[in-house]
Structure 1
């Protein structure tokens, strides 16, 4: 659907008045802001059922749309590749395929351009602030300015980060440094520079927070707002969040059962010794924990909440800058998460000092499977798995000048591969079919623009996942999913997004149909990736960025 058609359907006037009273043309191409959180659970935001204070994101949802069935790839780097290319990460060597390699060190093919390369010929300037975790440098990928938060092991230092792809050799005074604040400081500086020197051009801004990815580091004042809030435990928190989700009308599903024997996806046995007797690596029933364990786990969730709270506060500063520029109404804003909340437990980088205040720079804490289960309410499992808990993301879409709906839900299945085609469709930008003489293969994403106007289903063949042996395919409302080394499970997502009732043995023909679809797409992606198999190998100077 082209922009002219969309605007006609929505009844948007050719000229509109912005929230600051300035007049702008609705016929001009909008600015675009894509905000990506890291390891945020489906229910962490207030508007998706959470108790964490997220008034700015909640307001964007109230003024725009919430998609209830949007997906990512279950992991940091493949989601970023899919988000900015419009391809599944396996197609562009950014996640592994059997016998072909690929992953965090894989290099994209020359035709696998990022969104800024397609926007630049149409007058857009592009800015990046935050985590990168994509192969290659940022500016060579089409961005005009960048703050690359490469230090993902300590939120309180800028050591290791890069500005416009140049390493920071003399970081600024770090007495008050915090990565989430620094990310938005840079984003605002880019907007101010744009308003001063490029006001006649539209912009694309990509803001990729590291929060709330581990280590759980937060400002003391932010942690204090959630002190003792989670002492009732993860089981009660799941019940409370699910009840709120039901009142919001978000989902039709039962609440999944907690998998008490399912721990972190990777076993770091020494981490439990370093973290002390308060740590547990299974989501046991809360009343089975010792008082020390309950206090330790509740403190971790308080820090996680503080990180999400701070991210929302910083988003509020960004929104105020857009309003100051007179750009708020005619900026398309998308917010999502790169994967579900994480069950990981580990200690790395600077290690963990058990005597230090939880959440401070000397500590290294991870959320773990207990409160991760609550963050992913009502779904099963966590980051890295491709059950719903690992791949479901909030998707908030806000564009007052282009979307008439306010506070509505959209139930069509969606995926981060849809972001690029959606933006190009809305801007009436034709993606080239060749790049430097090389054919650009068809991309699997679909434009979500029709769903901006009304709650319609965006038609597609299927949605597909593979990550570290975990695999899934969704065809209509049917989903086939399997953990690594485990048999296929079949679910009817119309009534069972929680994946509670496995129908594989009852409906073997349906399961076989979906398995055939998964295998077809695996073969197609493998055939494409095999043409440039050397790109899938980790280069010797691969980025030190880690998930």
Structure 2
């Protein structure tokens, strides 16, 4: 018989688009996640917050990220901006479950504090986790990651064949095995991968498995993903596929197609290696007899990332980001950026896959990480719990990150503390069991990009532009702006969004820009993120 309090496994990937997994329409080979989806719940309308740190803050606290002190990333932009470190007005999932008798562990990326080299009271083991192995920073080389930490100390020497994603899967499985031997208490395991966030790093044998898969280019592959999504019941076939991004040329007119293929081949290899690491964890749960009694949740922190990295030798840059090593572990210089003369994948490179392939990742939607149109906030969300009475199949109810902790509380019976901000989310458990959940508004803001969704209606703006209005029931790809036809709805929904923003500590974007010294037209947020993420 399953225990009354199941284990909780929460897996988050970084910068992966809505359609990359096989079970969400992609041609990337993800058998382990596909199997979890086939035996569980695949959510079609789950939303993140459009960016790394805010998504993690919201996921772990059940609040909107601004309430936790992390409105953008982990830079301290006070006193007029966000402090950039998770605050004491919230409780993490680890703190809540630890108080309820759970053993808690994190294996992966933290990215919730601006103090990257010394514990500041907000490192993982100071915010409820019994153990931590991973990176404090927001991005890293997969072969030689900066800020690699064990609990609160540097992780030490790495083996010659080290690759971060593989190691996280191995250490997550090791935790499961050791815990099953030592304790009968339930556990909470948080596994936030760095993959597939840039840099494009993967071992040659993994890249070889994807070779040639992208020869037909992004136009053909977007159409194929779109058709598979319709056929599987993930999306409504009446929603048109969004047009290719205006900044992306047709594949037939693309220069350097060999290099463009190589970029996506490495990205696909990164996703496949992440899937294999999930398989390593699932095998450990199965071998120890705990799979049926474990709730596994999988999602991405934002949509596909269109960031292009500027080129240059890292040791010659006037400002070297912490996450970028100057040389490989065997002494070779590291070439940063999307240089068409450099084949990505090895430790001497540090590239991204850019807007053309991010446009593919986010099929069928438009926009990307940073923005709160569907391409920036729609995420795959898979739930697997054999002993939980879930209704297998696709769940079309809309939900967002604050709903995760509310759901975990209902599943585990853990008490939420009284001395922090009240939860913002609502439980998804009934929805996962086949009973549609009551409609509730969903709210978003990042870098001035804003949205509110009420039922099928979504009001959204791309800062500093005007509000746009979409009926997602008939147009989830956001192609027909209805704001001019429904001015009263725009007025009412924008007023409701502002009430939420005022209540949840959302700072005016102009104020944040002044606080950071950026100002208008100084440098784009996407350019900044290439250095800060």
Q: What TM-score does the superposition give when structure 2 sets the normalisation length?
A: 0.86
| Distance in 2 (alpha carbons) for counterparts of 1:420 and 1:73 | 15
Select 2:94's aligned residue among 113, 116, 129: 116
Residues 224-243 of structure 1 mapped to structure 2, 5 A cutoff: 224-243=208-227
For 2:158, the equivalent position in structure 1 comes to 172
Match of 1:106 among 58, 76, 84: 84
Deviations 1:428-452 (A, max 9, x none): 2231212xxxxx2322111001112
1:403 aligns with 2:389: yes
Aligned to 2:203: 219
Aligned to 2:271: 308
Gaps of 5+ in 2: 114-121, 311-320, 327-333, 517-530
Distance in 1 separating the partners of 2:259 and 2:485: 43
C-alpha distance in 2 between matches for 1:204 and 1:504 = 44
2:362 is the alignment partner of 1:376: yes
**1:10 aligned residue:** none
CA distance in 2, matches of 1:239, 1:455: 33
Query: How many correspondences in the alignment?
Result: 477
Q: How far apart, in 1, do the equivalents of 2:459 and 2:390 lie?
A: 36
Cα deviation for residue 84 of structure 1 reads 0.2
Q: Which runs of 5+ in 1 are unaligned?
A: 1-24, 262-282, 435-439, 539-544
Q: Which residue of 1 aligns with 2:416?
A: 431
Counterpart for residue 210 of structure 1 = 194
Partner of 1:268: none
Q: Match of 2:386, SS?
A: coil
Cα contact 2:41–2:390 (8 A) shared by 1: no
1:91-135: per-residue Cα shift (whole Å, max 9, x none)?
Answer: 1111059997555x5233323110111112221000100110012
Evaluate the alpha carbon distance shift between residue 373 and residue 357 of structure 1 in structure 2; reply closer, same or farther with a 3 A threshold. closer
| CA displacement at 1:52 relative to structure 2 | 0.5
Partner of residue 428, structure 2: 448
Deviation at 1:340?
Answer: 0.4
Residue pairs, 1:145-544, within 5 angstroms: 145-150=131-136, 152-168=139-155, 170-173=156-159, 175-198=160-183, 200-252=184-236, 253-261=239-247, 283-290=248-255, 292=256, 294-347=257-310, 349=324, 350=326, 351-352=334-335, 357-406=343-392, 408-434=393-419, 440-460=420-440, 462-526=441-505
Q: Give the Cα separation in 1 of the matches to 2:136 and 2:61.
A: 21
Q: Give the CA deviation at 1:298.
A: 1.2
Contact 1:116 1:126 in 2 (8 A): yes
Contact 2:19 2:363 in 1 (8 A): yes
Query: Residues 68 and 330 from structure 1, CA distance in 2 versus in 1: closer, same or farther, beyond 3 angstroms?
Result: same
Q: Normalising by structure 1, what TM-score?
A: 0.84
Q: Name the Cα RMSD after superposition.
A: 2.2
Distance 2:433 2:299 in 1: 20
Aligned-residue offset at 1:182: 1.1
Q: How many Å separate the matches in 2 of 1:213 and 1:123?
A: 34
Quote the offset at 1:166 in angstroms: 0.8
CA distance in 1, matches of 2:471, 2:249: 28
SS of corresponding position for 2:504 = helix
Secondary structure at the counterpart of residue 425 of structure 1: helix
Which residue of structure 1 aligns with residue 119 of structure 2?
Answer: none
Matched-pair contact (CA < 8 Å) for 2:293–2:387: yes
Report if the CA contact (8 A) 2:86-2:112 is conserved: no
Deviation, 1:381, is 0.6
Structure-2 separation of matches of 1:100 and 1:42:
36
For residues 28 and 205 of structure 1, what CA distance do their matches in structure 2 show? 18
